[in-house]
């Protein structure tokens, strides 16, 4: 649905995104993850044809150009701040871009905005503005939605509601590209992960593959830990101290078990060791650019 190939984005002569390539299929929810200044927002702005870039961006096989935004006809976006005119009511803000009044009513009802939609937007709270920004992005049944930090300013109830709506739209075929600092929030909805660091796409994988990476280590405890450590170090098996035991890559599991048995050491505990999502992301970011698809 969204195909980005060898995209290099410039501000002046400086390359902000370097040869970025990734794909998001129809109905997928891709999480755009990376540290501050990695280039997440720039990627979104480039997809919207608002930056100088080389390479190719296609939405439903239509090419996005800086000069021609025809391919963006069915794209909704919330980038950085909700794009709201404070002197208009929420309804009028939506009406500026709505194809029909029914489209406005749909998003207003979905996002539970009925009580305040006729008020001037200047009187809105942060959360109300954010909801209106999301409503603008979801207007007119878009095929692709770009959301930059969509949960900013939302309370728990609204966050759950927005999460539910995103899933519902995705089930109906809308593709999402979402960036968020709240990894836990993204983790609950995304089907794909696009990891960005220093303007490069470090990784583009389905979340289930990433989850496999999280479970690639084992945790174990023996009846003589100091001897075990010395033994494994002598055999050059990479180990990490975890709580009261050690963790190893799953690939070494049988070799370690054989070694322990040969040296009369006994396992007291053996379990899969799940790295948290945050830990995995940090690990992948520090590992660098070698893990692309």
- Residues forming contacts to another protein in the complex (CB under 8 A) are 11, 45, 48-50, 66-70, 72, 75, 77, 79-88, 92, 96-97, 136
Residue 239 DSSP class: -
Comparing CB distances to another protein, the nearer of 72 and 138 is 72
One DSSP character per residue, 168-207 reads: HHHHTT-EEEEE-S-HHHHHHH-SEEEEEETTEEEEEEEH
Comparing CB distances to another protein, the nearer of 47 and 166 is 47
Contacts of 205 (CB under 8 A, 6+ apart): 192, 193, 293
CB of 79 to another protein, least distance (A): 6
One DSSP character per residue, 87-114 reads: TSBHHHHHHTT-S-HHHHHHHHHHTT-T
Name residue, tokens 């391919």: 71
Comparing CB distances to another protein, the nearer of 86 and 272 is 86
Comparing CB distances to another protein, the nearer of 36 and 67 is 67
Planar angle of CA 98, 77, 57, nearest 5 degrees:
115
CB of 179 to another protein, least distance (A): 15
CB of 241 to another protein, least distance (A): 48
Separation between Cα atoms, residue 119 and residue 177, nearest integer Å: 30
CB of 31 to another protein, least distance (A): 21
Comparing CB distances to another protein, the nearer of 67 and 115 is 67
Contacts of 287 (CB under 8 A, 6+ apart): none
CB of 149 to another protein, least distance (A): 13
CB of 93 to another protein, least distance (A): 9
CB of 225 to another protein, least distance (A): 57
Separation between Cα atoms, residue 54 and residue 233, nearest integer Å: 49
Contacts of 170 (CB under 8 A, 6+ apart): 27, 28, 29, 176, 189, 191
Comparing CB distances to another protein, the nearer of 69 and 209 is 69
CB of 163 to another protein, least distance (A): 23
Name residue, tokens 């060791």: 273
Separation between Cα atoms, residue 17 and residue 8, nearest integer Å: 5
Neighbours of 271 (CB within 10 A): 11
């Amino acid at each position: 649905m969204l195909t980005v190939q060898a995209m290099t984005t410039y501000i002046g002569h400086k390359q902000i995104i370097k040869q970025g390539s990734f794909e998001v299929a129809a109905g997928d929810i891709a999480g755009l993850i990376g540290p501050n200044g990695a280039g997440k927002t720039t990627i979104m702005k480039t997809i919207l044809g608002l930056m100088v870039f080389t390479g190719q961006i296609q939405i439903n096989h239509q090419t996005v150009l800086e000069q021609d935004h025809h391919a963006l006809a069915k794209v909704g976006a919330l980038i950085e701040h909700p794009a709201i005119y404070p002197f208009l009511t929420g309804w009028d803000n939506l009406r500026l871009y709505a194809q029909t009044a029914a489209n406005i009513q749909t998003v207003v009802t979905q996002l539970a905005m009925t009580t305040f939609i006729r008020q001037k937007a200047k009187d809105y709270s942060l959360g109300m503005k954010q909801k209106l920004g999301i409503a603008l992005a979801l207007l007119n049944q878009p095929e692709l939605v770009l959301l930059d930090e969509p949960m900013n300013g939302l309370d728990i109830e609204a966050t759950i509601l927005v999460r539910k709506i995103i899933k519902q739209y995705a089930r109906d075929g809308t593709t999402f590209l979402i960036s968020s600092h709240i990894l836990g929030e993204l983790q609950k909805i995304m089907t794909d992960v696009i990891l960005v660091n220093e303007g490069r796409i470090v990784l583009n994988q389905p979340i289930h593959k990433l989850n496999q990476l999280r479970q690639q280590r084992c945790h174990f405890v023996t009846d003589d830990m100091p001897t075990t450590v010395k033994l494994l170090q002598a055999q050059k098996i990479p180990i990490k101290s975890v709580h009261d035991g050690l963790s190893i890559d799953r690939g070494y599991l049988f070799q370690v078990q054989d070694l322990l048995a040969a040296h009369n050491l006994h396992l007291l505990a053996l379990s899969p060791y799940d790295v948290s999502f945050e830990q995995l992301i940090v690990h992948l970011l520090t590992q660098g650019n070698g893990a692309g698809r």
